[in-house]
Amino acid sequence: MGLEPAGGVGENMRIAVASGKGGTGKTTVSTSLALCAPGPVQYLDCDVEEPNGHIFLNPEFSVAEHCEVTIPRIVEAKCTYCGKCRDICRFRAITMFGKTIMSFPELCHSCRGCFLVCEDEAIAEDKREIGLLEAGQAGEINFVHGRTRVGEAMSVPLIKAVKKKAWKDGLVILDAPPGTSCPFVETVNDVDFVLLVTEPTPFGLHDLKLAVEVLLNFKKPCGVLVNRADLGDDRVDTWCRESGIPILLKIPFERGIAEGYAKGRNLVESQPDLRKPLENLLREICS
Amino acid sequence: MKEIVVLSGKGGTGKTTMLGSLAFLAENKIIADCDVDAADLHLLLAPRPGSENKFVSGVKARVIEDQCSGCGTCDLCQFEAVTLAETATIDSLACEGCGVCAYFCPEDAIVLDENHCGTWFISDTDYGPLVHAQLFAGEENSGKLVSFVKSKARELAEETGAGLILVDGAPGIGCPVIASLSNTDIILAITEPTQSGWHDLERVLDLADHFKVQAFVCLNKWDLNPEMATEIKHSCQDREVEFLGEIPFDPAVVSCQINGIPVVGNDDEGSAALAIRGIWNKLKNRL
Ligand code: SF4
Ligand code: SF4
């Protein structure tokens, strides 16, 4: 499908840009890093609840795929009301009272338990759409993102679908969802490096600590980028030093960056002198 | 009893700052932090240690090695949590707790352990009782923990005769946010005048429509992009969503955060505090 890099050799590297706390500049940083890549690069927006990377990269999409999960449809004509499907489902997605059996697709986690346990072929496969995946090009950058349907609680299958598009070789940059729960873990679990974007405030530090805790749990190398570095105090610095987490770059607050960001311009556009430091950052991570 | 949930879609737009101030301004209320993935409200409200409790939800599968014959039946796991070698092993981060492997294991070699996945607290603050929680890093039951925190807040409100519950929601529009909307009267959406902020606000308002909850909008740091601020106001008008006010960029907000106090209610209230008071005066008349 033309998603592999055109024979170019980039560094073989998957870098996730994450933040714990939202709104620290994760998306501007990740899109700018993609723009500063020396060779072919792929950008995956895994923040599927609120994908914003496209605002900064303006991709042209050539692929649109509906992301679906498998759910049961009960074929009442064949059902003997044995109740096995209800009993195996730990998510209470199937209920039965007397000879009424019902499934609740929103609660289904697609574990296939009910399919496997039904001996009467009374459970057929149905699909439920949870979101849309789109892929295309943003200049030199291969771009993929997912967008959950509004009202959809399940995002992990869509993140998995986005990640399935990841290049096997070359440089891949992933924009991770905020927080530290399952969508975040799903995004970072198999990357080579996580760049944590934070700001020097108590909220920033608190959420940074949580993110670092998860990453250390599964021994994932990580480093920190401090954004709006002069708008706060030095507790992030101190904590990083004491915990042995490297601070790789600091970006000061500039009204120009904030105003550019507001208009959907990323860091390197609003502040061209950030290109060198970002290129160096990328090189340092890849080395 | 009324309930207000503060949401933002995009993280870092001032949701917690807003809620901290509402906690100061509103009377006779219970405060609930439903951003269980990265709970920050306690950093502003300085809770005194109160009750601390375990949150247990769902299960995780574990293989009893001595009993496992390595037959591979459990490979039917849909979540890629099972690795087969001599014996099977289960990656607890990937395990969704569906129990299907345990059900079908011919050797009864898989047990399902209760999953202790977070901690919840009821604490006292200068602004009223606070129900808050922290999901352990990398856990997946954020929606359930949110529902739990909300039910505790409700109980507490009934016990104490509080007329209002103030809820700090999670970023995004997924599982924890959806959980925070049940039984809610009002969503206060706070965003900033940026492309991303606007994009995410639209998704929050779509969500409000989807669940038929009345929403109000306010803008933070509006003066970083006055034109877009105006556009956002117009788009609210077009959607018939009431716009409650705009908060200017005010360095005092960061310094209050650093000192761990709400923006309103301190000695030198600045322009942001004034604006927040105005928003609250309108909002309380809509209750
Ligand atoms: S697939 Fe699993 S979660 Fe879905 S209804 Fe069947 S048993 Fe329940
Ligand atoms: S409980 Fe379900 S998700 Fe967990 S390992 Fe077993 S089959 Fe996989």
Helical ranges in B27-141 per DSSP H? 41-45, 100-104
The CA-CA-CA angle for residues A260, A193, B36, to 5°, reads 75
Structural element, H or E, at residue B165: strand B164-168
Distances (CA, A) of B58 to A6, A108, A116, B88, B158: 46, 14, 21, 21, 28
Distance of CA A252 to the CA centre of its chain: 26
Show the tokens assigned to B127: 């602004």
Instruction: State how far the Cα of A101 lies from the Cα of B272, in Å rounded to an integer.
Output: 55
What is residue A250's predicted lDDT score, i.e. its pLDDT?
94
Task: Tell me how far apart the alpha carbons of residues A17 and B78 are, in angstroms, rounded to a whole number.
Answer: 28
Per-residue pLDDT tens over the stretch A226-246: 998 888 888 999 999 999 999
Top residue of A50, A110, A253 to mutate, by most chain B CBs within 10 Å, is: A50
Backbone angles phi, psi at A116, to 5 degrees: -70, -30
Q: Determine the topology of domain A76-121 in CATH.
A: Alpha-Beta Plaits (3.30.70)
Domain ranges of chain A: 13-67+130-286, 76-121
Task: Report, as an integer, the average pLDDT of A165-179.
Answer: 93
Confidence check: pLDDT of A4 > 60: no
In a mutational test of the A interface, the residue from B190, B196, B246, B258 whose CB has the highest number of chain A CBs within 10 Å is: B196
Residues B154 and B184: their CA atoms lie apart, in Å, by 11
Ligand with an atom nearest the CA of residue B97? 2
Question: How far, in Å, CA of B47 to CA of B28, rounded?
Answer: 17
The residue among A55, A203, A227 with the most chain B CBs within 10 A of its CB, best to mutate, is A203
What CATH class does A13-67+130-286 carry? alpha beta
Give how far Cα A61 sits from Cα of A80, A103, A142, A159, A187, Å.
Answer: 48, 36, 10, 18, 22
Q: For A87-146, how does the pLDDT look when each residue is reduced to its tens digit (9 = 90+)? A: 999 999 999 988 889 999 989 999 999 999 999 999 999 999 999 999 999 999 999 999
CA distance A280 to chain B (A): 27
Q: Which atom of ligand 2 is nearest to the CA of B102?
A: 6
Report residue A2's pLDDT band, with 50, 70 and 90 as the boundaries.
Answer: very low
DSSP string covering A157-212, please? HHHHHHHHT--SSSEEEEEPPSSSSHHHHHHHTT-SEEEEEE-SSHHHHHHHHHHH
Taking CB atoms and an 8 Å limit, are B12 and A210 in contact across chains? no
3-state secondary structure of B233: helix
Cβ separation B16–A206 shorter than 8 A: no
In this prediction, residue B258 carries a pLDDT of: 83
pLDDT at A180: 85
- At residue A8 the predicted structure's pLDDT band, cuts being 50, 70 and 90, is very low
Give per-residue burial for B129-147: e unless 16+ CB within 10 Å, then b: bbbbbbbbbbbbbbbbbbb
B68 token code pair: 């496992």
A206 interaction partners in chain B (CB closer than 8 Å) = 38, 40, 43
Residues 27-46 of B with CB under 8 A from A: 37-38, 40, 43
| Res. A11 pLDDT band, cuts 50 70 90 | low
Tokens of B96: 């969704």
Q: Is B220 helix (H, G, I), strand (E, B) or coil?
A: strand
- Residue B172 C-beta-side C-alpha neighbours within 13 Å: 39
What is the sign, positive or negative, of the torsion defined by CA atoms of A77, A78, A81, A83? negative
pLDDT of residue A1: 35
- Which of the residues in chain B have pLDDT under 70? none
Give CA–CA dist B82/B100, Å, rounded. 12
Residues of B in contact with A234 (CB under 8 A): none
* Minimum CA–CA partner of B78 in chain A: A111
Element (H, E) at A16: strand A13-18
**Both tokens of residue B182?**
């049940």
Interface predicted TM-score (ipTM) of this complex, two decimals: 0.83
Q: What are the residue boundaries of the structural domains of chain B, listed by start?
A: 2-46+126-286, 58-116
Give the span between the Cα atoms of A120 and A141, in whole angstroms: 51
- Compute the residue count for chain A: 287
Interchain proximity B199–A50, CB inside 8 Å: yes
- Taking the CA atoms of A53, A172, B140 and B119 in sequence, report the sign of the dihedral they define: negative
- Label the pairing between strands B128-135 and B29-33: parallel
* Cβ-defined contact of A153 to B178 (cutoff 8 Å): yes
Q: How far is A149 from chain B (nearest CA, A)?
A: 9
Closest CA–CA distance from residue A226 to any residue of chain B (Å)? 15
pLDDT digits (tens, 9 = 90+) for A44-102: 999 999 899 999 999 999 999 999 999 999 999 999 999 999 999 999 999 998 888 99
Answer whether A217 sits within 8 Å of B139, measured CB to CB: no
| Beta bridge partners of residue A129, listed in sequence order | A68
Number of H helices, E strands in chain A: 11, 11
Parallel, antiparallel or unpaired: strands A13-18 and A193-198: parallel
Phi and psi torsions of A172, nearest 5°? -125, 130
pLDDT value at residue A268: 85
**B101-135 pLDDT, tens digit each:** 999 999 999 999 999 999 999 999 999 999 999 88
SS3 A4: coil
At residue B175, the pLDDT reads 85
- What is the rounded average pLDDT for all residues in chain A? 90
Cβ distance A88 to A117 under 8 Å? yes
- Tell the CATH topology of B58-116: Alpha-Beta Plaits (3.30.70)
Structure tokens at A63: 């692929």
Q: Tell me, what's the pLDDT at B254?
A: 84
Contact of A217 with A46, CB cutoff 8 Å: no
Alpha helices in chain B (DSSP H): 15-25, 41-45, 100-104, 142-160, 175-180, 195-210, 226-239, 252-259, 271-286
Burial per residue of B57-95, b for 16 or more beta-carbon CB atoms within 10 angstroms, e otherwise: bbbbbbbeeeebeeeebbebbbbebbeeeebbbbbebbb
CA diameter of chain B: 70
Question: Quick one: CATH architecture of B2-46+126-286?
Answer: 3-Layer(aba) Sandwich (3.40)
